[in-house]
C-alpha cells in the first residue's frame, strides 16, 4: 500500500448554464451535412480566436491536488551513488 497525501479544495460555485431546448427540423442528408460542416468551421474559428482565453480559464478553474510519492518510488528514484 502506498502513502498518498491528497489535498482537496472546496468546489467553486458554478455559474448558471443556459440550456437551449429547440426542436430541430427534418433535413435532407445534404442539408444536414452542410450544416454540420458550417458548425465545425464555426467551432474551429471560435477556438482559434479564443484559444488562449480558453486555456487560461481552464487553468484558473483546475482543481489542484497534491500527491506525494510512495517510499518505494522514492527509493527507486534515489541517486544510486
Model confidence pLDDT, tens digit, residues 35-74: 999 999 999 999 999 999 989 988 888 876 666 666 665 6
Q: What share of the chain in percent tops pLDDT 90? A: 40
Dihedral over Cα of 45, 54, 51, 40: its sign: negative
pLDDT number for residue 81:
60
| pLDDT greater than 80 at residue 15 | no
User: What's the whole-model pTM score?
Assistant: 0.47
Three-class SS state of 73: helix
Output the nine-digit C-alpha cell for 78.
Answer: 534515489
CA 47 to chain centre: 14
Amino acid at each position: 500500500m502506498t502513502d498518498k497525501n491528497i489535498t482537496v479544495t472546496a468546489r467553486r460555485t458554478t455559474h448558471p448554464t443556459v440550456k437551449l431546448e429547440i426542436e430541430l427540423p427534418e433535413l435532407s442528408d445534404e442539408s444536414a451535412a452542410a450544416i454540420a460542416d458550417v458548425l465545425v468551421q464555426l467551432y474551429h474559428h471560435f477556438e482559434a480566436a479564443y484559444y488562449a482565453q480558453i486555456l487560461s480559464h481552464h487553468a484558473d478553474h483546475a482543481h489542484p491536488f497534491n500527491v506525494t510519492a510512495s517510499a518505494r518510488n522514492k527509493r527507486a528514484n534515489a541517486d544510486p551513488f
